[in-house]
Amino acid sequence: MRQITLSQFATEKGQTKAGNLLGMTQSSVNKALQAGRDVFVTEHADGTFTAEELRPFPVQSAKRTRRRILPS
């Protein structure tokens, strides 16, 4: 089992193929990359791929904290 970032995966496979392997469109891959989302792709022993996103929990608390820290 190997885990890499979505960015590395898209660079290795190309965005179109990466999207197909993950069951999503190329534009969805591109949007996730442009947004800087923390997505990790896992290659399983059977040759399939899955992706998971790391996000703060709870999300609402993280948003409130970010608003207080960043100037408007």
Alpha-carbon distance 70 to 72, whole Å?
A: 6
Q: Which domain holds residue 33?
A: 2-69
Q: How far is CA 56 from CA 19, 38, 64, in A?
A: 24, 10, 12
> What pLDDT was estimated at residue 1?
87
Number of domains in the chain: 1
**Can you give the CATH number for the domain in which 13 is found?**
3.30.240.10
Given a cut of 80, whether residue 69 has pLDDT beyond it is: no
- The reported pLDDT for the residue numbered 58 is 80
The DSSP annotation for 34-60 comes to HHT--EEEEE-TTS-EEEEE---SSHH
pLDDT in tens, 6-60: 999 999 999 999 999 999 999 999 999 999 999 999 999 999 999 999 988 887 6
What is the per-residue pLDDT for 56? 84
pLDDT at 65 over 90: no
Query: Given a cut of 70, is residue 61 above it in pLDDT?
Result: no
